[in-house]
Every structure is written in structure tokens, then in C-alpha cells.
Structure 1
Amino acid sequence: MKVSWSKEAIREVETRFGSDAKVWKLVFDSEGCGCSVDGVPTLWAVNAPLPDDLQADSDAFGVWYEKQHEMYFDEPLRISYLPGNRSFKLASDGQTYTNTFKLQDLRH
């Protein structure tokens, strides 16, 4: 999996989460959605990837993901920042996943 970040997205991540937020996990979060096919793409700041996580080819931050979530995402993925909405956007060449891409800090 390939992930590219816009300069604005990098800057906003560092502003919101600090320059030490270098490890991120891309998930298709289905918690509370009712079933596993309904979910929301989410990026979690984590302390470290889990042993079975796979590493994406990312040009800014370390991004990991679980093999079973790979099927939900096209390549290459692009993460950008929309200053007018104060939100992140996740897109590929074929689709926009969300203009309100959720980034959540799960570090301890």
C-alpha cells in the first residue's frame, strides 16, 4: 500500500498531534457501525505497530495497517488537508473516501 501526504496535511498533523506523532495505523473502523462491511476509514496515532501489522510505503509518517483492512483501500492513497473545513481528506485515484477523515490519538 502506498500513502502520500500533502504538505498542508503534514503541517496540520504536527500542529494537532505534535512532532513526535510518527507512527500511524490505518484502519477501517467498524466499531459501533453494526457490521463489518460498514465502517469509517480512520487513522490512529499509536505508540508502535502490532507484530502482525504491515507497513505501507508512506512519504511522511510511518503508516501501518492490518492485512484484513487492505481490501477496503485502493492505491495509491492520498491524505490532504482542507483548511476551509479544518478537516483531512482521504482519496485515491478512483474515489474520495471521506472529506472528514478522522485522525485519533491512541498513544499512552
Structure 2
Amino acid sequence: MYVTFSSSAQKFLGKYVKQDGKLLLLYDTDGCGCAVNGVPVLHVLSGIGEENLQKIETNSIPLFMYSKHTVFFDELLEIVYQDHKLKLVSKNQIFTHHLQVKL
């Protein structure tokens, strides 16, 4: 899996991800009914171990994911900041028009 952060997304996320900061891309299923219904969410990691996480290749910001969540995403993803919102897209689909960032 490879995730490209657009330059506008890098700038926007820079206020959340400080030096040596990392992000966790989750497929959040809490309150969605069942394990296959969920929404992508970015969590800012600070001081949390990476032992159960898979490192995802990116063009800039370090990104991690639980291996069990990779099945919900395409192999090539892009995170873009447009119209005051983060979007998670691939060439095949739009995963979300409003990717939330949780601290």
C-alpha cells in the first residue's frame, strides 16, 4: 500500500503532526452496525508503540495502519486537502469527502 499526501494536505496536517509525529489510518466501525460498515479516520500518534501496527509507505508524513484494516482500502491512496476538508481517494473511488483527524 502507498499513500500520497498532496502538498495542501501536508500543510494542513502539519499543525497536528509535529516533528517526529505519526498518523494512524483507522477503519472505524464503532456505532456503524457491523464490522464491514465503517469510516476512515486519521489519529495523531504521540508516544504510542508501533508493535501492532503496519507501516504504510508514503511520500511524506509517517503513516501506520492495523493490518486487519488494509482490506478496506485500495493499494494506492491519496489524501488531499480541498475545500477546507481532507479527502481520502483512490483512482477507483472516493473513500470519504471529510476525513476526520483525531488527536
2:3 partner letter: V
- Structure 1 outlier segments of 4+, above 3 Å: none
Give me the CA root mean square deviation.
1.4
Question: Structure 1: which 5+ runs fail to align?
Answer: none
What TM-score results when the alignment is normalised by the length of structure 2? 0.91
The aligned counterpart of 2:12 is: 12
1:33 partner letter: C
Q: Deviations over 1:56-82 (max 9, x none)?
A: 001111111111101000021100001
* Aligned 1:52-91 pairs, distance under 5 A: 52-82=52-82, 84=83, 86-91=84-89
Number of residue pairs matched by the alignment: 102
Identify if the C-alpha distance between structure 1 residues 38 and 76 changes in structure 2 by more than 3 Å, giving closer, same or farther.
same
What TM-score results when the alignment is normalised by the length of structure 1? 0.87
Is 1:104 paired with 2:102? yes
Per the alignment, in what secondary structure is the counterpart of residue 24 of structure 1?
strand
Tell whether the 8 Å contact from 2:17 to 2:23 is kept in structure 1 after alignment: no
The aligned counterpart of 2:35 is: 36
Question: Structure 2: which 5+ runs fail to align?
Answer: none
Per the alignment, in what secondary structure is the counterpart of residue 90 of structure 1?
strand
